[in-house]
Structure 1
Amino acid sequence: MKQFGRIAAVGAAVVVVALFFGWWQVDGPGAEQTLGKRSLPLTQMDFSLTDQDGKDVGPQTLLGQPSLIFFGFTYCPDVCPTTLSDISLWLEELGAEAKDLNAVFISVDPERDTVEVMADYISYFDPRIQGWTGTDAQLAVAVKGFRATYEKVMQTDGDYTMNHTSGVFVFDDVGDFVTTIDYHEPREFALPKIRRAL
């Protein structure tokens, strides 16, 4: 029994050290602070898009509430539906804590993702998730502020897909960038990051 207790204690210590190291590298003093890699605050952005209801939206729409922002496209085969499902689960788990939380999916494929397409697509996820789209020019301005990236990739059959930043941007209620939640980041790491913004 003593042997089991020692093994459990060592295992717990390893987990604590790993979590601390991860925090240090991603969000703590050891995080890379290279200028241009972190998103601008929402208050320093100036873009205009259209939501799933046809209303004009932009960074000012998000101020006053914490926000989760994710870039993707409706034809995305895996990353986008997986991330939107994750966001839906986070919102559910946060419960009343998330009542004032914005969750926005911004399309990087304006050619196919019209307002109507976005409205239909997001209807399969938590109803609090908004879908924003716009023209190529409008999208370029928005992406620049977030320091995100996207690229149209042609396929051999003449169709195309989109490469894009896959993390979820987290902002607090005054529009300051808090952190990024990586694609497939475990729930036990993602939820504390969201709570920091709340």
Structure 2
Amino acid sequence: MLNKIRPILLLLFGLVVGLGLVFGAVILQARLFPPPHQWQGLYLDEPRVAFDFQLQGAGNAPVKLSDFRGKVVVLFFGYRSCPDVCPLTLANLERALTTLGPAAADVQVIMVSVDPERDTPEAVAAYAQAFSPQFVGVTGSLAQLTEVAEAYNIYFMKEETPSAAGYLVTHSSTLTVIDQSGKIRLVWPFGVESSAIAADLNVLLAR
């Protein structure tokens, strides 16, 4: 009887060992070759050098993009009187940086105002910092802003309205992400969740 059971036991033992080896190989492969990160925007496999603009910040101090070389820069175009997209975007970015924790020190958010008539350098700097002391707000002349916006494929146009504000500025709502070497790596559309933004930034910061 024992002679009949022994082959069955050996077979079961072999199956168990074989399954163990298969699962072990799967786990090892997952650790050595994790699945590629799923970016939440348009990731540029062949990044291009970001246009190195110079605009005015708080106290009319010159602010250049290259001042932040070595950090990941998130570039946003908006304006202080924006009724919806701008405050929502800046609040979302603040939540994303909070999620990053200490690593957020290596990320710089820059808001470029596209409303030079109403947004002085001091005013847009204060507006950006109201969302986070880490944020930088800048502006310039209409000619300067048009040049910078075109370099980043950003559209903006003043539109007269009967509202108390007098006019609105229609503008692109994308976010441009520039890596530590000054190259455009990623473009996020409006509405990406803060947790997804933080996940993308974590990957870029690890490079």
Instruction: State the TM-score, normalized to the length of structure 1.
Output: 0.76
1:161 aligns with 2:168: yes
**After the TM superposition, which residues 27-176 of structure 1 pair with which residues of structure 2 at under 5 Å, given as runs?**
27=42, 40-42=48-50, 45-156=51-162, 159-176=166-183
Q: Distance in 2 between matches of 1:75 and 1:92?
A: 25
Displacement of 1:46 = 4.3
Instruction: Compute the RMSD of aligned alpha carbons.
Output: 2.6
In 2, the alpha carbon distance for the partners of 1:95 and 1:54 equals: 30
Secondary structure, counterpart of 1:124 in structure 2: helix
SS of equivalent to 2:177: strand
Letter of the 1:173 partner, please give it: Q
Deviation digits for residues 108-158 of structure 1, max 9, x if unmatched? 001100022113312321100000111101101111111111111111358
SS at structure 2 position matched to 1:57: strand
For the structure 1 residues 77 and 96, does the alpha-carbon distance in structure 2 shift closer, same or farther, using more than 3 Å as the test? same
Q: Give the paired residue count.
A: 169
Aligned mate of 1:186, from 183, 193, 197: 193
- Provide closer, same or farther for how the CA distance between residues 104 and 39 of structure 1 changes in structure 2, counting only shifts above 3 A: farther
**Runs of 5+ unmatched residues, structure 2:** 1-34
**Runs of 4+ that moved beyond 3 A:** 23-28
Q: Which one-letter code corresponds to 1:186 in the other structure?
A: E
Question: Could you list the per-position Cα deviations for residues 27-84 of structure 1 after superposition, in whole angstroms to 9, with x for gaps in the alignment?
Answer: 46xx8x9xxxx98522xx2432011242112222232211011000000011101111
Residue identity over aligned pairs, in percent, reads 30
Which amino acid in the other structure matches residue 164 of structure 1? H
SS of residue matched to 1:170: strand
Distance in 2, matches of 1:175 and 1:69, equals: 12
Highest Rg: 1 or 2? 2
With over 3 angstroms needed to count, the CA separation of the structure-2 counterparts of 1:157 and 1:79, relative to structure 1, is closer
Take 1:93 and 1:25, find their aligned partners in 2: how far apart are those partners?
16
Contact 1:53–1:119 (CA<8 Å) still a contact in 2?
A: no
